[in-house]
Amino acid sequence: MGKILERTVHYNGKEIAYQLEFKSIKNINLHVYANGRVSISAPLGTSKKYIDELVLANAERIAKSKQKLQTKQEQRQSQKVALEDLLCIEKQQLRLGEFVIPLRIIEGVLPKVAFKDGIITIMQPDINNISQQHQLIMQIIKNLAGYCFFDLVMNVCFNLREFNVPVPQLKVRDMKTRWGSWNVPKHIMTLNTKLVFFPKRVIEYIIVHEFCHYFEANHSAKFYAWLDKLQPDWRERKQLLNELALRLP
């Protein structure tokens, strides 16, 4: 990969900044990203002046692409919901997606929350303060997610027993760009905390996806062959994941 150059041209009194990279390619490629960044890759030896002129010639198209992407991003942001708003407390139980966990709310001097033996206990001065209950639950959301994920991981592992997949050590953490990961040498499966708000069939897809990395480390054709074999409807599950993920922060 060559050095990335930062360049700027002026059009109708406005600056158009773009990143330029020379590569061993035949054609010039212009791309506008969701964050508004403009990137151009060009064949080695292409004149920088020619590329500047190309950017100017496509200035209106670039501006329209930026506006379209910005509008789309704003629409997505307006549809997002806070994770706390996805919690549902009713009849002495907490609903997390499709999971139901017993819940006790008792009066106490200081607000506290604990999770033991599969039961959540909340202590608070005002037992009708639902907003505070949601805040307290979010303090232990990783523990709750791990508790909910465990049976799903074990069920998938049991269903794959003929392939001698190892029983993994399960970890849960917040991840910005990944839903799961698999440490093959250590047999550690890590799942994204946010998955607890998704349907079980979506979580199962992520779990099976990670188990496939036991057979193939990369996303090669062999990897997807395993995914097709172990979970034939994985494409529908992935599509559901992508659709629901747009609502989460």
Query: What is the overall mean pLDDT for the chain?
Result: 91
CATH 3.30.2010.10 corresponds to the domain 142-245 = yes
Average pLDDT for 40-66: 93
- Cβ count near 119 (within 10 Å): 14
What are the tens digits of pLDDT across the range 10-31? 998 889 999 999 999 999 999 9
DSSP H helices, the chain, are 48-57, 59-79, 130-139, 141-159, 200-212, 221-230, 234-245
Q: What is the pLDDT of residue 2?
A: 63
What is the pTM assigned to this prediction? 0.70
Q: What is the pLDDT of residue 34?
A: 77
What is the band of 179 on the pLDDT scale with cuts at 50, 70, 90? very high
Q: Which two three-digit tokens encode residue 134?
A: 């949601």
C-alpha closest to that of 106 among 88, 119, 117, 118: 119
Pairing of strands 99-107, 4-11: unpaired
Average pLDDT for 97-114: 95
CA distance readout (Å), 159 to 11, 154, 226, 229: 61, 9, 14, 12
Q: Which residue has the higher pLDDT, 35 or 1?
A: 35
What are the tens digits of pLDDT across the range 182-225? 998 899 999 999 999 999 999 999 999 999 999 998 899 999 99
Cα 164 to Cα 141: distance, rounded to the nearest angstrom: 32
Long-range contacts of 153-157 (CB under 8 A, 24+ apart): 153/189, 153/207, 156/204, 156/207, 156/208, 156/211, 157/211
Q: Which one-letter DSSP state was computed for residue 35?
A: T
Q: Side-chain half-sphere of 93: how many Cα atoms within 13 Å?
A: 9
Name the 3-class secondary structure at 196.
Answer: helix
The structural domains of the chain, with segments of one domain joined by +, span: 4-79, 83-139, 142-245
Amino acid sitting at position 107: E
What is the band of 78 on the pLDDT scale with cuts at 50, 70, 90? low
What is the band of 248 on the pLDDT scale with cuts at 50, 70, 90? confident
User: What does the buried/exposed string (b/e) look like for 181-203 if buried means 16 or more CB atoms within 10 Å of the residue's CB?
Assistant: ebeeeeeebbbbbbbbbbebebb
Cα 93 to Cα 102: distance, rounded to the nearest angstrom: 4
> Is the predicted pLDDT of residue 243 greater than 80, yes or no?
yes
244 within 8 A of 202, measured Cβ to Cβ: yes
| Residue 237 burial (C-beta neighbours within 10 Å; 0-12, 13-18, 19+) | buried
- Distance, CA of 45 to chain centre: 39
Cα 208 to Cα 229: distance, rounded to the nearest angstrom: 11
